[in-house]
């Protein structure tokens, strides 16, 4: 195990020492490395890329550092295989795991990825007990539950990437359909990060105009279907891996809201304690993301159809957690 230090001193002028935030990304694969790039471009902090494979995080970190003069960012990006280099991180993004292959459902990934997430989280919290954790590894809603259980952290500091990505995809499809700027399109997707996700057309707008007034119901059905299958659509095109540009951009958006205490309202997998009638489980809901992590879960009204779809999504996640035999991993299942 070795570390390549891309030394760039933290700006320091004696007493008025200014320190950048420290962000660790575990898993220097497609999603992890691209997340490092977005974080660097946004200068959100110094980034430590960690992977189990020797050389890969070091090589990618160095490559990113060599891109920094071109883009003019001063975040230091370091690659390592050693968790000691992650010590004192403010935020840890976990992408370690195996990616979905064609014909593989997110649930097929469950056993391999849950043991990877377990090992990773144990190490992460040992060295960064104050960190916020964003989980990216799929199947997301189950992995974030496992991560939270293993971490022993308050649920407000452990969350998962789901709706930020799914709503970005829905926004892209709405903008394509209407030939309008993506900047003006807002969309909301709640529920699990799986085929049972719940894209909410009533809460999707173009500059405040409900999309229901701009796109007829049948076309919108098609867009919603495409959003539900968006991850699979990329997998079937790539053939050897899953999406990474949009996932990494979406996780960087969540990171930015936390690091800069922006308090943006972004749908993500959060621990519900009665909200939306869900107790003791993670699922995608709109949350306020700030320096304290998930600062609030925003409860919006759901009509009959949305409520039915959301319940279906809750059941699907419950079944996945049941299939995991969580107690055999040494995790106490405290769901009611």
Q: Which stretch binds ligand APR (CB under 6 A): 21-29, 147-155, 254-262, 279-287?
A: 21-29
Nearest to 160 by CA among 205, 113, 216: 113
Smallest distance, Å, CB 234 to ligand APR? 10
Q: Which residues of 66-96 are buried (b: 16+ CB within 10 A; e: fewer)?
A: eebeeeebebbbbbbbebebbeebbbbbbbb
- Cis peptide before 206, with omega less than 30 degrees from 0? no
C-beta of 107 vs 292, nearer to ligand APR: 107
Q: Select from 68, 75, 80, 113 the one that contacts ligand APR (CB under 6 A).
A: 113
Q: Which of residues 217-246 bind ligand APR (CB under 6 A)?
A: 241-242, 244
Smallest distance, Å, CB 51 to ligand APR? 5
Smallest distance, Å, CB 179 to ligand APR? 29
Q: Select from 116, 158, 234, 297 the one that contacts ligand APR (CB under 6 A).
A: 116
Residue 169 as a binder of ligand APR (CB under 6 A): the answer is no
Q: Which residues contact 281 (CB under 8 A, 6 or more apart)?
A: 141, 145, 271, 272, 314, 317, 318, 321, 335
C-beta of 85 vs 306, nearer to ligand APR: 85
C-beta of 164 vs 297, nearer to ligand APR: 164
What tokens appear for 90 in the block? Answer: 């403010």
Query: Which value, in Å, is the radius of gyration of the alpha carbons in the chain?
Result: 20
Which residues are annotated as catalytic?
193
Give the integer Cα–Cα distance in Å for 329 and 116: 12
Residue 119 as a binder of ligand APR (CB under 6 A): the answer is yes
CB-CB neighbours of 157 under 10 Å: 19
Give the integer Cα–Cα distance in Å for 194 and 161: 12
Q: Which of residues 44-63 bind ligand APR (CB under 6 A)?
A: 51-53, 56
C-beta of 73 vs 244, nearer to ligand APR: 244
Contact pattern for ligand APR over residues 82 through 111, marking x by CB under 6 A: -------------xxx-xx-----------
Based on the number of CB atoms within 10 Å of its own CB, is 37 exposed (0-12), middle (13-18) or buried (19 or more)? buried
What tokens appear for 127 in the block? Answer: 């060295």
Residue 136 as a binder of ligand APR (CB under 6 A): the answer is yes
Give the integer Cα–Cα distance in Å for 31 and 228: 20
DSSP state of 77: E
Smallest distance, Å, CB 55 to ligand APR? 11
C-beta of 40 vs 290, nearer to ligand APR: 40
C-beta of 197 vs 215, nearer to ligand APR: 197
C-beta of 155 vs 231, nearer to ligand APR: 231
The SS3 of residue 91 is: strand
DSSP state of 301: -
End-to-end C-alpha distance for the chain, whole angstroms: 43
Q: Containing H/E element for 159? A: strand 158-160
Q: Select from 20, 22, 25, 31 the one that contacts ligand APR (CB under 6 A).
A: 31
Residue 146 as a binder of ligand APR (CB under 6 A): the answer is no
Q: Which stretch binds ligand APR (CB under 6 A): 6-14, 28-36, 66-74, 289-297?
A: 28-36
Q: List residues near ligand APR by CB under 6 A.
A: 26-32, 51-53, 56, 95-97, 99-100, 113, 116, 119-120, 136-138, 241-242, 244, 247
């Amino acid at each position: 195990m070795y570390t390549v230090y891309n030394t760039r001193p933290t700006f320091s002028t004696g007493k008025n020492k200014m320190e950048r935030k420290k962000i660790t990304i575990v898993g220097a694969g497609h999603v992890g490395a691209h997340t490092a790039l977005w974080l660097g471009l946004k200068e959100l902090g110094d980034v430590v890329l960690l992977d189990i494979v020797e050389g890969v995080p070091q090589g990618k970190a160095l490559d990113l550092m060599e891109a920094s003069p071109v883009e003019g960012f001063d975040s230091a990006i370091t690659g390592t295989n050693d968790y000691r280099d992650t010590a004192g991180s403010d935020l840890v993004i976990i992408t370690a795991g195996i990616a979905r292959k064609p014909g593989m459902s997110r649930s097929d990934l469950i056993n391999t990825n849950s043991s990877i997430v377990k090992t990773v989280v144990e190490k992460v919290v040992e060295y960064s007990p104050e960190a916020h954790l964003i989980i990216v590894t799929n199947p997301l809603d189950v992995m974030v539950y496992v991560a939270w259980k293993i971490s022993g952290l308050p649920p407000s500091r452990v969350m998962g990437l789901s709706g930020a990505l799914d709503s970005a995809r829905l926004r892209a499809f709405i903008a394509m359909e209407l030939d309008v700027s993506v900047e003006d399109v807002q969309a909301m997707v709640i529920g699990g990060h799986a085929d049972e996700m719940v894209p909410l057309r009533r809460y999707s707008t173009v500059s405040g105009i409900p999309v229901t007034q701009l796109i007829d119901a049948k076309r919108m059905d098609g867009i919603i279907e495409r959003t539900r299958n968006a991850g699979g659509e990329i997998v079937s095109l790539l053939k050897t891996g899953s999406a990474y540009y949009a996932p990494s951009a979406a996780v960087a958006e969540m990171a930015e809201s936390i690091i800069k205490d922006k308090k943006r309202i972004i749908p993500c997998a959060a621990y519900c304690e009665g909200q939306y009638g869900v107790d003791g489980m993670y699922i995608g809901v709109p949350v306020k993301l700030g320096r304290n992590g998930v600062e609030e879960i925003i409860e919006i009204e759901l009509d009959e159809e949305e409520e039915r779809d959301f319940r279906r999504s809750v059941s699907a996640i419950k079944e996945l957690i049941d299939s995991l035999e969580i107690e055999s991993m040494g995790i106490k299942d405290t769901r009611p």
